[in-house]
Structure 1
């Protein structure tokens, strides 16, 4: 398994990238991945997105230690639920300790656990996000009212919320999985010059599914430069991607 990450600031943001990502090895064949999107509705989107990523890595590392020490075996679905519940618990405590206002935690998140052994992945989206598995891309958008992470931190019964939350995806027989923040849908022309036309779906496929020759480590940077040079497009919002190659 190989995990690539990429994040960049959007052209409409001048000071901070309000996205963040996290990845943690839970076991020798399970990995926790996440992309976090701090929104303009939050006063400190860049700070809280980075904070959530840091807390999530803490949660993942502690989970990995416990699984190793206790020699426990668990599936991706069970691990995803456990990590999400612990993340909520940790953030609820930090919200009080740091005196974070509700608007400070108005962010969205896509969180997943991959299983290399079974070639499966379990993904949950809170708010809006993009999930692509072997070329099939699913865009999960906000409800009528914004579905921010902070809206769920005060839930008394996590089990009831988890069961009723319908933005969950299970991917089976995966070869290639990607999760991305909604900024990936904001590529816009930056000049009036003539360029080759391209659709949003083609850009999604190019970034989240296609594999190209060249060093894998610089794959996303090469792709973004190609989109700029070939199609005359730049992302106006921050873009963050985590892509997992199972083979």
Structure 2
């Protein structure tokens, strides 16, 4: 199984990339991938996405230790993902209180992909905007550029909030999967192109297998889009792709 990732600042952003990503193993055969997109109109949104990613990394590390000592088998995938999200809510609420943060300092979208390599099953949960591609099928989540950020709900009952989530994809027999922030849909012609033919950046990044044998596959694709096709994302981009 090959795992690729790329993070790129959007051409319209000057100071910071407000997206973030993590890839973290949980125990011996589970993998958590996540991409975050900080709200550009909020406050220091690169902080919100990075903080979310680092808290998720901590949660995964703790769960790996739990798995070593657990005697009653593995949790079902959906239960595991829900528990990760609940831990994230609790940690974010604690950090918000400890640092006296404003809600606007915690606004970020979140796409979580949890994959069980042993069972070859997975689940994706999207909170806000973003794109998911599973075995060649592209699903775009778009909320009119007004994502319902999970930071809005940190004071609510988690169980009630979780039951309202509908942007969920459950899959098995994974061959190829990608998750990306909505920057993947913002590619535009930014300079004169060498190539005369057109290209679909989403399909090129999430479905096409060029540079499959390179660990830097996505970065090479981004460079080819820029220098050969004259295309760059105007918004920040975080993308993770798994090819089995």
Q: In structure 2, how many angstroms separate the alpha carbons of the residues matched to 1:213 and 1:241?
A: 16
Judge which range, 167-176 or 190-199, deviates more: 190-199
Establish whether residue 203 from structure 1 lines up as the match of residue 204 from structure 2.
no
Establish whether residue 121 from structure 1 lines up as the match of residue 119 from structure 2.
no
Conserved 8 A contact 1:196-1:230: no
Establish whether residue 234 from structure 1 lines up as the match of residue 232 from structure 2.
yes
Conserved 8 A contact 2:206-2:241: yes
1:70 is aligned to 70
Judge which range, 75-84 or 190-199, deviates more: 190-199
List aligned pairs for 1:70-109, cutoff 5 A.
Answer: 70-71=70-71, 72-109=73-110
Q: In the comparison of the two structures, how many residue pairs are matched?
A: 243
Q: In structure 1, how many angstroms separate the alpha carbons of the residues matched to 2:184 and 2:105?
A: 23
Q: In structure 2, how many angstroms separate the alpha carbons of the residues matched to 1:136 and 1:17?
A: 28
List aligned pairs for 1:188-199, cutoff 5 A.
Answer: 188-191=188-191, 195-198=195-198
SS of 1:14 mapped into structure 2 = coil
1:8 is aligned to 8
Conserved 8 A contact 1:42-1:107: no
SS of 1:231 mapped into structure 2 = coil
Q: In structure 1, how many angstroms separate the alpha carbons of the residues matched to 2:31 and 2:237?
A: 22
Establish whether residue 58 from structure 1 lines up as the match of residue 58 from structure 2.
yes
Q: 1:15 to 1:175 in 2, by over 3 A?
A: same
SS of 2:188 mapped into structure 1 = strand
SS of 1:216 mapped into structure 2 = coil
2:215 is aligned to 217
More helix by share: 1
1:43 is aligned to 43
Judge which range, 49-58 or 145-154, deviates more: 145-154
Normalised by the size of structure 2, how large is the TM-score?
Answer: 0.93
Residue 194 of structure 1 and its aligned partner are, at CA, apart by 7.4
Q: 1:143 to 1:85 in 2, by over 3 A?
A: farther
Q: 1:41 to 1:231 in 2, by over 3 A?
A: same
SS of 2:223 mapped into structure 1 = helix
The C-alpha deviation readout for 1:35-85, integer Å capped at 9, x for no partner, is 010121221111111111100100111111112111441232121111011
Residue 230 of structure 1 and its aligned partner are, at CA, apart by 2.8
Conserved 8 A contact 2:21-2:53: yes
Which structure 2 residue ranges, 5 or more long, are not aligned? none
Q: In structure 2, how many angstroms separate the alpha carbons of the residues matched to 1:89 and 1:37?
A: 20
